[in-house]
């Protein structure tokens, strides 16, 4: 770490510590150096990261978007399943170049739990045991693929790349892909190889975020 950067980090340390204390023990504060993608300071490390480690939680994702220096809050989660709400701030130096990125990650579990308790207390009472999930996800898969193919009037193995991206987007939106072991089945349903599927999925996701977030 060069001395200029170090001075800057030292200058910001009280801010990081203050925020961490304010929200303690439910939040961690991390200072990143985007140039090296390393953690340069961290307070109350919920994520167990240490100074010098690479930035693992992806706080820096999407920071190349233009025109904004504050991001979030957006959802993340810890390896143990705790869910976080995170915000990031880009700290620019005098000539406007990104110098450091400050991230605050709040552990939502306590708040969710408390909220649930209160909600339950305040709830409209009774309520039935909440029925099953949906139906088997394979049915959703069949239906989505079937509809799509029917709509395009083309058998599934003659779909264009663009169509496949679209269809995969729908499958993902429907949550099919977050079902365990669904990928091989889905790839088979689309009559493409597993690897081709992942390629398309990658592109589909890229496209989705571009469309949804044309900042």
Q: Which residues bind DNA (CB under 7 A)?
A: 79, 161, 164, 177, 180-184, 191-196, 198-202
Give me the least distance between CB of 42 and a second copy, in Å please. 22
What are the strands of the beta sheet with 27-33, ordered from one edge?
38-43, 27-33, 98-107, 83-92, 70-77
If one counts every other C-beta atom within 10 angstroms of the C-beta of residue 200, the result is 19
Q: What pairs with residue 103 in β-bridges?
A: 30, 88
Handedness of CA 58, 20, 102, 3 (dihedral sign): negative
Toward a second copy, which CB reaches closer, 41 or 76? 76
Using rule CB under 8 A, residue 49 touches a second copy:
no
Using rule CB under 8 A, residue 120 touches a second copy:
yes
Toward DNA, which CB reaches closer, 92 or 191? 191
Place of tokens 């081709």: 196
DSSP reduced 3-state for 41: strand
CA 143 to chain centre: 28
Toward DNA, which CB reaches closer, 36 or 193? 193
Toward a second copy, which CB reaches closer, 90 or 109? 109
Q: Which residues bind a second copy (CB under 8 A)?
A: 72-75, 77, 79-83, 85, 106, 108-109, 111-112, 114-116, 118-134, 137-138, 140, 142-144, 146-147, 150, 170, 173-176, 178-180, 184-189, 208-209, 212-213
């Amino acid at each position: 770490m060069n001395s200029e950067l170090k001075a800057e980090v030292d200058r910001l340390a009280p801010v990081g510590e203050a925020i961490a204390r304010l929200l303690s023990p439910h939040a961690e504060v991390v200072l990143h150096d985007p140039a090296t993608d390393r953690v340069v300071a961290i307070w109350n490390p919920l994520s167990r990261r240490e100074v010098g480690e690479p930035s693992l939680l992806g706080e820096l994702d999407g920071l190349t978007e233009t025109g904004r220096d504050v991001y979030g809050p957006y959802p993340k989660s810890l390896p143990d399943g705790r869910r976080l709400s995170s915000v990031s701030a880009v700290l620019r130096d005098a000539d406007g170049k990104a110098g450091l990125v400050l991230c605050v990650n709040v552990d939502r579990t306590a708040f969710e739990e408390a909220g649930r308790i209160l909600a339950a207390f305040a709830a409209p009472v009774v309520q039935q045991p909440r029925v099953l999930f949906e139906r088997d996800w394979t049915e959703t898969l069949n239906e989505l693929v079937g509809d799509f193919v029917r709509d395009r009037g083309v058998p599934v193995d003659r779909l264009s790349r663009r169509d496949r991206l679209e269809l995969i987007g729908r499958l993902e939106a429907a949550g099919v892909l977050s079902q365990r072991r669904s990928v091989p089945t889905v790839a088979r349903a689309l009559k493409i190889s597993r690897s081709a599927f992942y390629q398309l999925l990658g592109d589909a996701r890229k496209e989705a975020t571009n469309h949804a977030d044309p900042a």
